[in-house]
């Protein structure tokens, strides 16, 4: 126990008395790190996080209609505030767990240049992005293309994924030559893991602050409060950072 941080040690001691499950809705861009964090969370605390992945906007609609989620990890900072105002989340529990980065990615090596000039050349049939109405990364991608002055010419080539996970799949399978995805989907331990990519400069879009919040249905579940505390531990933060997020 002496090797654990005080926060993690407290979580372990609490879990020793009683372990619970917690239903967690997770923005699709955070799939890989959250799976890893959930496994460590269960090992360290005994609590089990039951994960569902999807678009932030769709989760908002589901929660508004009574979905049984107890913790929400979004891809924006507005949704938790809305849920708190609507009494669907525990007041004062939201916080930023990660700051996401947008990347233009192709599964083909050498296809996307490191300046993103491929967008201006337009030598492609399809560009994938997540539905901007429900997925913050999709809305951000639209804003970037507009700022670069290429949106009008590219618009007819855009194919939309239901969420960022489906968008990544479109590009990974070659159904779209390239697409805007979350850096975390193609990045691990300091490098892009496959294909070719342009990490969109931060100056081209507002920071993608991803907030977590305890939902009303999780207010009295010890596993819900334990999970949001665990996201702030050094172990969880190290995992998050390894996927290219800022903290």
User: How buried is residue 121: exposed, middle or buried, by Cβ count under 10 Å (0-12/13-18/19+)?
Assistant: exposed
pTM: predicted TM-score of the whole model, two decimal places? 0.85
Can you tell me whether residue 85 is helix, strand or coil?
helix
Answer whether 89's CB lies under 8 Å from 216's CB. Answer: yes
For residue range 14-44, list pLDDT tens digits in order: 544 568 999 999 999 999 999 999 999 999 9
148-189 pLDDT, tens digit each: 999 999 999 999 999 999 999 999 999 999 999 999 999 988
Domains along the sequence of the chain with CATH: 6-99+207-242 (3.40.190.10), 102-199 (3.40.190.10)
Range 118-123 contact pairs with CB under 8 angstroms and sequence separation of 24 or more: 118/178, 118/198, 119/145, 119/148, 119/150, 119/154, 120/148, 120/150, 122/150, 122/153, 122/154, 122/157
């Amino acid at each position: 126990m002496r090797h654990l941080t005080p926060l993690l040690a407290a979580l372990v001691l609490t879990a020793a008395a009683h372990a619970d499950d917690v239903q967690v809705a997770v923005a699709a861009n955070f799939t890989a790190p959250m799976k890893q964090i959930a496994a460590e969370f269960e090992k360290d605390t005994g609590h089990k996080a039951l994960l569902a992945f999807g678009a932030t906007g769709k989760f908002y609609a589901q929660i508004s209609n009574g979905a049984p989620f107890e913790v929400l990890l979004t891809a924006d900072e507005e949704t938790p505030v809305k849920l708190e105002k609507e009494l669907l989340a525990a007041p004062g529990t939201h916080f930023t767990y990660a700051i996401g980065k947008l990347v233009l990615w192709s599964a083909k090596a050498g296809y996307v240049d490191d300046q993103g000039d491929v967008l201006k050349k337009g030598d492609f049939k399809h560009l994938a992005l997540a539905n901007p109405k429900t997925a913050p990364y999709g809305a951000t991608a639209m804003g970037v293309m507009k700022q670069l002055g290429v949106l009008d010419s590219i618009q007819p080539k855009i194919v939309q994924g239901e969420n960022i996970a489906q968008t990544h799949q479109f590009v990974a399978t070659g159904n779209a030559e390239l697409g805007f995805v979350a850096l975390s989907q193609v990045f691990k331990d300091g490098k892009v893991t496959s294909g070719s990519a342009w990490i969109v400069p931060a100056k081209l879009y507002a920071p993608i602050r991803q907030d977590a919040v305890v939902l009303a249905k999780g207010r009295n579940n010890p596993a819900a409060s334990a999970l949001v505390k665990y996201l702030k531990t050094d172990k969880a933060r190290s995992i998050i950072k390894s996927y290219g997020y800022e903290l």
